[in-house]
Structure 1
Amino acid sequence: MGNINVSLPESMKAFVEEQVTQGGYGSVSEYLQELISQDQKRKTQVHIEELLIAGLESGEAIEVNDEWWEQKRTHLMNQIYEEK
């Protein structure tokens, strides 16, 4: 694991230390790792939502019902058997 040195104003340093204590973190490092992990997850979720919206806005809309799913399953199963 690599190290990063961060300089913070005293007010921010006090805030971080308070969050470590109140949040039950073992260290400032654990707290910062959690913040970064949450930010990564948030950005991944935003990206997924963007992809979903782009998918919804692309092409012609179709009705997805039980019959459509059955045809899709059959088609995919046929593809699997053809590959073997």
Structure 2
Amino acid sequence: MNISLPDPMKQWVEAKAGSGRYSNVSDYIRDLIRREQERSDRIAEMQQHVDEARASGTSNETMADIRARALRVAGTEL
């Protein structure tokens, strides 16, 4: 796979790769892709929670009730 970059981007990537953290440009690019995959997975998981929450309807609990339940679940009493 070949990637073409404008000179300023190429220089920036080469500088990052040469910082000592990565052995070469390919290692740096792989790390960027890995991080983006993880970020995308986290966003998809959060969206799933939002979708489930919205589908569950409106609660009759007060914010105080919700907070108290969350603290109980977390193992921290008021």
Q: Normalised by the size of structure 1, how large is the TM-score?
A: 0.64
Secondary structure of the corresponding residue to residue 24 of structure 1: coil
Provide the C-alpha distance between the structure 1 equivalents of 2:60 and 2:26, rounded to a whole number of angstroms.
Answer: 49
Q: Normalised by the size of structure 2, how large is the TM-score?
A: 0.68
**Partner residue of 2:22?**
25
- Residue 45 of structure 1: which of 42, 46, 50 is its match? 42
Percent of counterpart pairs with the same letter?
29
How far has the Cα of 1:10 moved from its partner? 1.3
Provide the C-alpha distance between the structure 1 equivalents of 2:43 and 2:20, rounded to a whole number of angstroms.
Answer: 26
Provide the C-alpha distance between the structure 1 equivalents of 2:38 and 2:20, rounded to a whole number of angstroms.
Answer: 19
Provide the C-alpha distance between the structure 2 equivalents of 1:13 and 1:46, rounded to a whole number of angstroms.
Answer: 29
Show CA shifts across 1:12-61 (max 9, x none): 11100100122510010000000001111111111000000111111244
Structure 1 residue runs of 5 or longer lacking an equivalent are 66-84
Q: Larger Rg: 1 or 2?
A: 1
**Partner residue of 1:71?**
none
Bigger helix fraction: 1
